[in-house]
Amino acid sequence: MDRMSRALWGIGALGSLGILISGASGFALRDVNDAALPRHVLISLGSTLVVAFAHTWAALYLWGLGRAVAATAAEGGLEAGVAESARRLRRAALPWILLALASTVLLFTLGAAATTGALSVPAHQGLAWGALLAQVLALRSERRALGTTERLLRSGARVEA
């Protein structure tokens, strides 16, 4: 992967680590009156923002890379079917990215419901595990799509040279 892809992927991984740390601090809470609750909320907020940033920009970057591959293919710099392969990878990654974004934002917003008792704490904890799993799947999918699309684009640049 190039620097941009590594940076976006690394930021996403840090956000996922933040969700894991937030989860650990949440599991350590005794009740909603625990003095550590504000720390849990702040870690959660920071992690949610980082994850939203990373996945949004990864999706936009994948879209841009896909357009670059399509343009290179249209100019005859890539073999037939390469642009379609890149498109399939991008389309395979986008649902995981959206699931990771949605589950993380939902986890954060429903955290407030868990503090008021409108949502049970075990339901919030279950959603946390689900959001973490979605992060792992999205990061795996992003890494594959970004790396493969960039390799396709670099191979096309060599063909044109």
Which stretch of DSSP H or E encloses residue 134? helix 121-160
What's the pLDDT score for residue 160? 37
**Domain boundaries, position 72:** 3-160
What's the pLDDT score for residue 108? 95
Question: DSSP letters of 19-42?
Answer: HHHHHHHHHT--STT-TTHHHHHH
Residues contacting residue 99 through CB under 8 Å, at least 6 positions apart = 134, 137, 138
- pLDDT per residue over 27-85, tens digit each? 999 888 899 999 999 999 999 999 999 999 999 988 888 888 778 777 776 776 777 88
What's the pLDDT score for residue 18? 95
Q: pTM score, two decimals? A: 0.83
Q: What is the largest CA-CA distance in the chain?
A: 65
The angle formed by the CA atoms of residues 23, 26 and 29, to the nearest 5 degrees, is 155
What's the pLDDT score for residue 156? 59
Distance (Å, whole) CA 128 – CA 18: 12
- pLDDT per residue over 72-123, tens digit each? 777 776 776 777 888 888 899 999 999 999 999 999 999 999 999 999 999 9
Question: What would you report as the CA-atom Rg of the chain, rounded to the nearest whole angstrom?
Answer: 19
Q: Report the domain count for the chain.
A: 1
